[in-house]
Amino acid sequence: MARDITRNAGEMQHIRVSPAQPAAAAIDIAARAIKSGGLVAFPTETVYGLGANAWDADAVHKIFRAKARPATDPLIAHICSADQLDDIARDAPDLARELCRRFWPGALTLVLPKSAQLPANLTAGLDTLAVRMPDHAVAAALIEAAGVPIAAPSANRFSRPSPTTAQHVLDDLADEVDVLLDAGPTAIGLESTIVSLVDDPPQLLRPGGVPLEALRQVIPDLRFEPRFLSDGEAAPAPGTLLKHYSPRAKLLLFQGSDDAAIYAAMRAEIEGNRRVGLMLGDADAAAFADLDVKVERLGRNAEQAAPRLFAAMRALDGAGVGLILARAPDKQGLGLALWDRLLRAAEGSLIEVQPARGGSR
Ligand code: TXA
Ligand code: MG
């Protein structure tokens, strides 16, 4: 295969495109980079991806090298039409078709038996493949123009928060990418939901952009067993490593229903500690207005918090805080994915705050 993309550091092409109607010339440059074995960072509705031709083992290898990602952590293949599914997956069950019809394009990744022709490094040697059809005009146009499925993890360095803006990609991977398609911030801001259809009953491996409740309408017995592993433990499924999506700062996650008790517990952590940052919903943030601490507001609900969460972690890291305090959200809808990312950032530990004696006011 031709290797006409030779690139030295600093030669990345950063191309701004309209998120809804990307210019054909921009897509063409990026598609040519994919076809010649290069790396293209591109937006999806969830987070930015670091893409390469999924059929090309050398190009796939570049992704692992660029991210410093363990070779044991398989990638997601991105497609732009349901027909492409049959090229890369084997024996997709009727349930897969049903899920595709309902949720694609969208933030749902399916794990299916893989085609034997795919390079082994794409799936980390597994005989299963993760695949999704992103709901973003730029991603769709790129996959279409490249004419191949695009392997893409989130375009961050391994264990850093996923990128929701082109700037995040530049911060982590500027020297590694051939073309960056910059279409502004991503809409959902958390990664796709991953469902394994090779398990019986099907299993939710990662909560994400498509809520568990919506999936259970189609798969009533969908299993979900959140597990948070410490570094040495063997993962039952790849990608369930504990240290993921993390800011550099230590994160403490508080859970409880009594606002006053939560605020008191947080204030106790803040006292005497000048390098604390808060990551809170608007209502909770207001309770700390009198303090001189860095606050990242996550908005009024899970839909507003999701696209702000990873940017908030990066902003607090950038501000040099050593400790981040956050509150565990409600697990409904997108809240489950938020809760999952926060718990991973907190390395699996929750601080349960009991109601103050006499109950909440
Ligand atoms: O929203 C998303 O899913 C984004 C955008 C770019 O599409 N991608 C993303 O990729 O989050 P990544 O690589 O950061 O996360 C993919 C997860 C990993 O945890 C990986 O272990 C899991 O998918 N995965 C991939 N193939 C798998 C397989 N065959 N079985 C189980 N898990 C798999
Ligand atoms: Mg990732």
pLDDT tens column, 239-280: 555 556 678 899 999 999 999 999 999 999 999 887 999 999
Q: pLDDT at residue 16 above 80?
A: yes
The token pair at 300 is 């009024």
Residue minimizing CA distance to atom 3 of ligand 1 = 192
pLDDT tops 60 at residue 2: no
**pLDDT level of residue 360 (50, 70, 90 thresholds):** very low
Q: Are 210 and 132 in contact (CB under 8 A)?
A: no
Residue 294: what pLDDT?
95
> Can you read off the two tokens belonging to residue 155?
């375009």
Task: Give the domain-ending residue among 187, 208, 224.
Answer: 224
358 pLDDT higher than 90: no
In whole angstroms, what is the distance from residue 58 CA to residue 340 CA? 33
Take atom 21 of ligand 1 and give the residue whose Cα is closest: 239
Q: Which atom of ligand 1 is nearest to the CA of 69?
A: 13
180 and 60 within one domain: yes
- Are 300 and 282 a contacting pair, CB within 8 Å? yes
Q: Say yes or no: 220 and 266 in one domain.
A: no
The contacts of residue 6 (CB under 8 Å, 6+ apart) are: none
Give pLDDT, residue 112. 98
Ligand 1 binding pocket includes 153 (Cβ within 6 Å): yes
CA 301 to chain centre: 19
Under 8 Å between Cβ of 130 and 154? no
- The per-residue pLDDT for 361 is 47
Asked if residue 292 and residue 147 are part of one domain, the reply reads no
Distance 93 CA to ligand 1 centre (A): 20
- Range(s) of the domain holding residue 257: 250-352
What's the CATH code of the domain at 165? 3.90.870.10
Do 191 and 283 have their domain in common? Answer: no
Encoded amino acid at 9, one letter = A
Judge if the beta carbon of residue 241 lies within 6 A of ligand 1: no
Each residue of 146-180: pLDDT tens digit? 999 999 999 999 878 999 999 999 999 999 999 99
Percentage of residues in the chain having pLDDT higher than 90: 86
Structure tokens that stand for 247 in this block? 């800011």
- pLDDT at position 203 is 97
Q: Could you tell me if residue 308 is inside a domain?
A: yes
Q: Which pLDDT does position 236 carry in this prediction?
A: 52
The CA angle 296-301-304, to the nearest 5 degrees, is 60
Instruction: Note the maximum CA span of the chain.
Output: 73
Give the tens place of pLDDT for each residue, 184-195.
999 999 999 999
32 and 115 housed in the same domain: yes
Cβ-contact 323, 276 below 8 angstroms = yes
pTM score of the predicted model: 0.94
Which pLDDT score, from 0 to 100, does residue 307 have?
Answer: 98
User: In the listed set 209, 224, 239, which residue is the last one of a domain according to the structure?
Assistant: 224
What band does 51 get if pLDDT is binned at 50, 70 and 90?
Answer: very high
- Evaluate if residue 1 carries a pLDDT over 50: no
Residues 44 and 183 in one domain: yes
49 lines ligand 1 (CB under 6 A): yes
Note whether 313 and 208 are same-domain residues: no
Please give the pLDDT value at position 235.
Answer: 53
Is 25 exposed, middle or buried (CB count within 10 Å of its CB: 0-12, 13-18, 19+)? exposed
pLDDT tens figures, 288-297 = 999 989 999 9
Whether 352 has a pLDDT exceeding 70, the answer reads: yes
User: What CATH number does the domain containing 288 carry?
Assistant: 3.40.50.11030
Question: Which of 127, 194, 227, 243, when mutated, tests ligand 1's pocket best, judged by the most ligand atoms within 8 Å of its CB?
Answer: 194
DSSP-derived letter for residue 319 is: T
| Overall number of domains in the chain | 2
Q: How close is the Cα of 161 to the center of ligand 2, in Å?
A: 8
Is 246 touching ligand 1 by the criterion CB < 6 Å? no
- As residues whose CB is below 5 A from the ion ligand 2, the structure lists 154
How does pLDDT run across 222-239, given as a tens digit for each residue? 999 987 655 555 555 555
Whether ligand 1 lies within 6 angstroms of the CB of 128 is answered as yes
